[in-house]
Structure 1
Amino acid sequence: MDEEIEIPPFFLCPISLEIMKDPVIVSTGITYDRDSIEKWLFSGKKNSCPVTKQDITDADLTPNHTLRRLIQSWCTLNASYGVERIPTPRPPICKAEIEKLIKDSASSHQNQAKCLKRLRQIMSENATNKRCLEAAGVP
């Protein structure tokens, strides 16, 4: 980029200070990049909002689709300055899907191999899925 481009401040994650790729809202109403807030909550064993210092009572992260679309539009509009468009993230696996795969794996040897292969694939897709599987007790 030859010319400095000003990034709207609300596109930046309060933790990483980088443009959010997968913005999510926590129970306190603050939006973070999914990867940053998950590392904050799960790796650091912290359960407070980095901005408000309030306890995060519900670890469910709600995708902020509107902000993600705004960021993607801004990236597209600024492509001539070397800004790359942020791809739409794949949704992380849900606990119910993990439980179903584990339950299905117990029904037969053939299903077990198929389910284990699917679990391995899910784990390799992204760090969020890996953390979800580990939290569910999948080694």
Structure 2
Amino acid sequence: MRHEYQCTLRWSDMDAFGHVNNVVFVRYLEEARIDLMFRLAEEAETGAGSAAGSFKGGSVVARHEIDYLRPLVHRHAPVTIETWVTKVNAASATLDYEIKDPGEVYARARTVIVPYDLERGRPRRLTPEEKTFLEGYFDDSAASGLR
């Protein structure tokens, strides 16, 4: 299953050439990732009546990869960001993304996240609940195709 996030484009996202700045794409990925790992995981937690793994213990980005495929210009309609999990390890997970409209893909990206113990200031292992939640979004049939 893939997570779809509708991301609103802001006027300030544009650069001097009239298209969304490359750095802003990473912010869009962050918005989609937060929606998945915090909002949806928290809703799953509430609905399940037990800890579904809303990553409240903390997580950090260990790596980003992004291929920019075509310019994205500002408009009033949101852009869709699809997010899915391609790998779950004991102490990390890999998320792939497409920033797109129907028939158009603007960027493909990948992020490696590491759960992080904020109090101790060091990486930690994924909890069983976090793994279960992430595995619900697992899809390795169509990896992002990053070069």
Give TM class, smaller chain.
under 0.3
Larger Rg: 1
Structure ranking higher on relative contact order (CA contacts 8 Å, 6+ apart)? 2
The alignment's TM-score, normalised by the length of structure 1, stands at 0.22
The alignment's TM-score, normalised by the length of structure 2, stands at 0.22
